[in-house]
Structure 1
Amino acid sequence: MIEAVRNDPKLDALEKRLGHMPNMLRVMANAPAVLDGYLGLSRSLKKASLPPATAERIALAVGAANDCGYCVAAHTHGARGAGLSDDEVEAAKAGTSADPKEAAVVAFARELTESRGRADDAAVREAGWSEAQVLEIIGIVALQTLTNYVNKVAGTENDWLPL
């Protein structure tokens, strides 16, 4: 178990900017290079062409595949904020969606996670997602895998409940 950092000027500045300090970031603060890497990739992927609801679906599919309760709770919150219904949240966790284009994305993300990167992108491409978007999906899967592993190893206290 890795303890969360409580007193850190960098975290104080980040909390002021975010308005909330997730326990996951307090855990990552034990290794500034990990925290900086997470924040940098997270910021970059927010500029991606994928809609926010799609990114949340991917995060839910990966978190569920990796059995990370912390990340599933955090991204359930994010998915609701992105306009997803409870049914769509549950579908994303199962690796599907009522929308065929979104279903292709979450199935690919889940397959990518479960196969450790050995996934065929043909269905995603056939559903209308571009080469750049396939790479963005991979980036989100990689970022979520990092957070899933950090939270599972650290036993991060879930500050996203109740949902």
Structure 2
Amino acid sequence: MFTAHTAETAPPESHAAIRAVAGPSGSVPDAVRRLAESPELLNGFLAMSASFEGCTLDPVAREVVIMTVAARNDCHICVAMHTGKLRALGAPTGLITALREQQSLPDSDLEAIRNFTLRVLATAGGVDDATLEAFLAHGYTRRNALEVVFGIGTYTMSTLANRLVRAT
């Protein structure tokens, strides 16, 4: 139902994003090709994702947020892509498996961010003080709490859009 666009067939406002994602290899993920139907969504997601990558959470903690959202939203392409990213970061297999299976994580600090992410989702951001304090007790900051919200927003958009367009 949704076209897997190329830089030539996508709306003109998506051309630059497709070319940037392709880079020297010329390979464009199916999700990007399909999301190109909406330049606003594609360009918005890419900008938000780049901004999230620059936040103060460490790379594995960011991936915990992303994988928690992706697994919860049953976005198979997102889970597969971010499994690869976690492997590239050297994350332990047990951590990756637990995230994919929506199970408790073996690392207590990463489990704290996973739990906080789930509570933010479950309460639409209305977490109680005890939940926030439990998150902060693991060395995270109030800034990190807001970064989790940012990651949830970014990757909720991505997972829902990827499912809608049937990205593979």
- Counterparts of 2:97 and 2:123 in 1: how far apart (Å)? 21
Matches within 5 A, 1:130-149: 130-149=141-160
The structural deviation recorded for 1:61 is: 1.0
Matches within 5 A, 1:1-150: 1-8=1-8, 9-10=15-16, 11-16=18-23, 20-93=27-100, 94=102, 96-120=104-128, 121-150=132-161
Matches within 5 A, 1:149-160: 149-157=160-168
User: Which runs of no fewer than 5 residues in structure 2 stay unpaired?
Assistant: 9-14
Q: 1:4 to 1:86 in 2, by over 3 A?
A: same
Q: 1:72 to 1:25 in 2, by over 3 A?
A: same
In the TM superposition, structure 1's runs of 4+ consecutive aligned residues that sit over 6 Å from their partners are none
- Counterparts of 2:25 and 2:151 in 1: how far apart (Å)? 20
User: Which runs of no fewer than 5 residues in structure 1 stay unpaired?
Assistant: 158-163
SS in 2 for 1:75: helix
Q: How many aligned residue pairs are there?
A: 157
- Counterparts of 2:26 and 2:144 in 1: how far apart (Å)? 30
Q: 1:137 to 1:151 in 2, by over 3 A?
A: same
User: In structure 2, what is the equivalent of residue 160 of structure 1?
Assistant: none
Asked if 1 retains the 8 angstrom alpha-carbon contact of 2:65 and 2:148, the reply is yes
Deviations for 1:64-86, whole angstroms, at most 9, x for unmatched residues? 11111111111101111111122
Identity among equivalent pairs (%): 25
Code of the aligned partner of 2:71: A
- Counterparts of 1:128 and 1:91 in 2: how far apart (Å)? 22
CA RMSD of aligned residues (A): 1.9
Deviations for 1:32-52, whole angstroms, at most 9, x for unmatched residues? 111111111111111111111
The structural deviation recorded for 1:2 is: 2.0
Structure with greater Cα Rg: 2
Q: 1:17 to 1:132 in 2, by over 3 A?
A: farther
